[in-house]
Structure 1
Amino acid sequence: MKKYNKLKITFILSIFFFVTGNSWGQIPQVPREMRFADLTLKLNEQVRREIQLDVDALHKNPNYFRVKLERVNLYMPIVEKELLAAGVPTDLKYLAIQESSLIPDAVSTSNAVGFWQFKKGTAEEVFLRVDNHIDERKNIVSSTQGAARYLAKNNSQFNNWMCGLIAYQMGLGGAKSYFGTQYNGKKIIELDRNTHWYFKKFLAHKVAFENQIGKLVSNTGYLEEIQVQGPTTLKAIATNLGVSEAHLKEYNKWTSNGNIPDDRPYSVVWLRPGNVPVRTLSNTSAQSNPSNTAQSTQQIQNPADAYPKVTGNTQKSTQADQIKVNNIPAIQASQKTSQEELAEDAGIRKGKLRRVNDLGRKDDIEAGGYYYTKAKNNTAEVETHVVQAGETLWSISQKYGIKLTSLKAKNRIREDNRLIPGMVLNLQDHRKRGEEIPILPRNQQAQKIPTTTNPPTTQTQPPASTNQPNTPANTNIGQTLSHTVAPGENLFRISQRYGVKVDDIKRWNRLSNDNIRVGQKLTINKP
């Protein structure tokens, strides 16, 4: 009888796991071609089999996968928001799952800690506080901001997000030695068994989770972030929110004793009852999940995401007279090559290719890039563009099919080092003489600028909370300014805003470390 009961229980459990597992559908299969960030990845059969084994392993235990998926659904809206604000492709969100399974106090064998698995030294490099009282590696907002800075810095060395991602594991020096310059700027990459193991593991997480996010959500609320300026305690905040102190401690393990100091604003998260609010996803996410109906109901398209608009015979985009980009005849480079070779493929003279694309004589042609074969326009179809980290005046002009000289003239800006993430550039009308280029606050940079009307009057000047100097930013050349530290700012963000180095700000203000406080006056010497 006992043996019979055991068999019966085993059979019932097997049926349960079978049904549960199949409620998610079949285990996702690794495709022959994938999109990752702005890259096109082509996978041969051997590397597909390797990655598939990891995907199968992630789905092997339905209960374990479900628990992890619930955690992913809880934290992912915040991760996506911070990556978007930093101009980092949201495809990088799967790295947090790979690193820590989104367990806030996860610790590796090498003593890396938190959501993004930072060692202490690296965490401090990206302006995270790590000491006996505060460990921002365990703060989902701060640690994601730090990871975004680190990944963006890596990518800037390669102009290739695959290399930048692998540098996250190897370190920048190690990645440079490993890759050299073979992938710099390359947009179409063929993967095989020699592809770095860390990237193959990452792709397995992307395949395993990208069509599952949003499914089987059993949380009774969603994580809401609030900015807190100390000194205060989680206990006091809990009273104001109407939740228990234990509740806040569960989601805010970054403060060891529940105390929040006054050296800077900190992000506190709590589980707010109700439905998850509509969130903005990047275009790279949408392209990666064309069939993900669970997410499509939450997606708001950024007008900029529709550009460049590619029409025509896209299957033959690397041949002449097959496609138009922003309604202008164009061609796509199949590989990194010379101007002469692409001009020959396009059936035009090299000088014309250079002229209509605003290329310098020594500029390389990047694999996967779109290049016009007839002149660009003096205006774009949309009125404005919000500058993202890593963009240049040239890349923006190519994105919208607007002449580089026109873009510069409309905004009275000539050099890339004057671009600041959040700047609202005009793409149709000329900016008035002396008119300051508006800069959106960091928490609004992922929001959309109207495509048929001018930016709201409330955005024509930076908000008072950002303490923008009275003199227009583009006319302060060679002047000494006073900057008042606003909530959420650190030395890195301030340095980016003014186009100066962090070390210079510290030297000008005799700062012994990177700690600054809200309301503190800083001297800035504009170059």
Structure 2
Amino acid sequence: MQKIVLIFLFSVLLFPVWGTIDESQKIKTAKDTISDQEIVLPESLEADVDSLLSSWFLKKYAIIDENCIKSSVNIDYPDSVYIQRLAALPTVIEMPYNQVVKSYITLYTEKRRELVETMIGLSAYYFPIFEQALEKAGLPLELKYLPIIESALRPDAVSRAGATGLWQFMIGTAKPLGLEVNSLIDERRDPVRSSETAVRYLKELYNIYQDWPLAIASYNCGPGNVNKAIRRSGGKKDYWEIYNYLPKETRGYVPAFIAANYVMHYYQEHNICPVLTDLPLTTDTIQISDRIHLKQIADVLEIPMDLLRGLNPQYRKDIIPGDTRLRTLCLPAQQAYAFIDAKDSIVNYQSEIYGRRTTVEPAGYYASTGGGSWVYHRVRKGESLSVIANRYGVSVRNLRNWNHLKNNNIVAGRRLKVYRAELARKTPSKKVEKPDSITVISKDSTFIAQSTKEVKNETAVISPVSSKKNISTARNPRNPAYDRYHYHKVTRGESLWTISQRFPGVTTNLLKKINNLHSSSLKVGQILKIPEV
């Protein structure tokens, strides 16, 4: 009997573990045993699946297996399986398991299965953007799952409190971090800019706490609330130790983050059928220095508006204000080169509708400034009011007012009166004899144009002069081949070629000859003489 007892004791000491140890017999900490019935679910879990499925990316590239979705049934596993799977995740951030984490896993795998299926499809486009920003900053790549909790991968998501975008920035947080938010632009919606800013903010928070769960919690509720919870807990600096001192909406934030990591890795084990994509979408970014409406790009390049809006969600009114500073435009790679080739056509396309006036004169007040001139333009075949207005830098509305037009219909051969303040400053006033002349009288700052004989030229320039003084303009004696000249002020981005394209029959060589230019270089503000060909 004594030998039997000794053998038994020896075997126990030599082989302390028989089979597998029951999980319930392990020493458990707060993170393992914690449960909470009062947590507030993230608003992303309330996301409308139908609105996500209607997004531009999924409409164009999604492959949805309806049979798989309808027949898919979740499989629940014992706690030991979840513990093992979470421990096997290739993450830097700790992924512990408890009943709160389990409750979020259940939400994603049972009640919100369709949401997960859709987010997996969206991740094909957004995750590379997140990973690039995280990799550049040297942060754990598993942080890319935070926007799942924040916004359900919707760049246009807006919370009840006003937090906006994939990373859900409040305006008060976004602006100090360098994101631009105004009537035209909301960079919180820009996937690239908001991701770069979120990564920088997360890095700052980690430098404060040197603990990722605390940094993630402070991203949700702010460092002030986390610091308050640390003080109330007696100075403890473990998320699970200060759990009950955190705001209710933040208590479930880290568990939801752990559950998101789990479900995005193990969705197949729960029979979740992802919305797959047909082809990966490659995009290029172009720098824009002009004011352009997305509709101009859509019409000229024949790109769907919802695609342009999806790629550029930061432009709230579909306007790219590149005239204020350089802006970015994201386009499918195959359309990027087409945009560069057709840029001038895009900028000028329906400019009378999408352009913005920088100066404007009240109706009936054009001549009271005393520094303008009238130009008479004879309409050519195929010209429209918008083309003529764009040529002279005026609005269609003013053209109609000056010429008493009830609509935009004009016929070839009609003469239109155009007021140009610039020409008045640049066109010399001198008397030149010509049979076909125009008399101009300036009286009480009001211009009156009286033709002594029908003007046969397409365009004649009339300059204001003092009272009772007559002038006429005629063929330039130095250049007998040309009857009239326009004067053009060079603006940013213009070249001799782009200017020549605005005036029929004018070439770059002709411009160089008329203006005595030895090269094609131009300066902003330079005045060029444009002959009427």
Same fold (TM over 0.5): no
TM (norm. structure 1) is 0.42
